Amino acid sequence: MKFKLDENLPASSASVFQAAGHDVDTVIAERLTGAPDPAVLAAATAAGRVLVSLDRGLGDIRAYPPGSHAGVVVLRLTDQSAAAVTDAVTDLAAVADPASLSGANSVLQHGLLRIRRP
């Protein structure tokens, strides 16, 4: 599966996805740091990558309806420390069927993954 990691995730998150066999790119590596959400999501979609972010606004299905992008996963964490984010990313990287994230709006919260498909 191809993922793009938003700038608000720790740099170590990329290695977690790579260790699970996923193709990973980052907003930072693509020099999109500070770009507005629609531009970041458009870049991820153009590359066929599911965007993973802590930005709750990206989970708004009115602004970003399922099927209008390659996929979005929002990590809704009360603790956004690097350790907590790494734990959440590890859970996400181990999803049994990562293809289920394609084109969907997903939220990972307290170990539960909710997926809204197109």
Domain boundaries, the chain: 2-116
Among 23, 48, 58, smallest CA distance to 103 is for 48
CA-to-CA distance for 7 and 85, rounded, in angstroms?
Answer: 13
Q: What is the pLDDT of residues 2-20, one digit of tens each?
A: 999 999 999 899 999 999 9
Q: What is the pLDDT of residues 36-50, one digit of tens each?
A: 999 999 999 999 999
Which residue is it, tokens 């972010």? 53
DSSP state of 37: H
Stated pTM of the model: 0.94
Q: What is the pLDDT of residues 60-98, one digit of tens each?
A: 999 999 999 999 999 999 999 999 999 999 999 988 788
pLDDT value of residue 2: 96
User: In Å, what is the CA distance from 7 to each residue of 40, 42, 54, 115?
Assistant: 10, 15, 9, 22
CA-to-CA distance for 32 and 53, rounded, in angstroms?
Answer: 14
pLDDT value of residue 110: 84
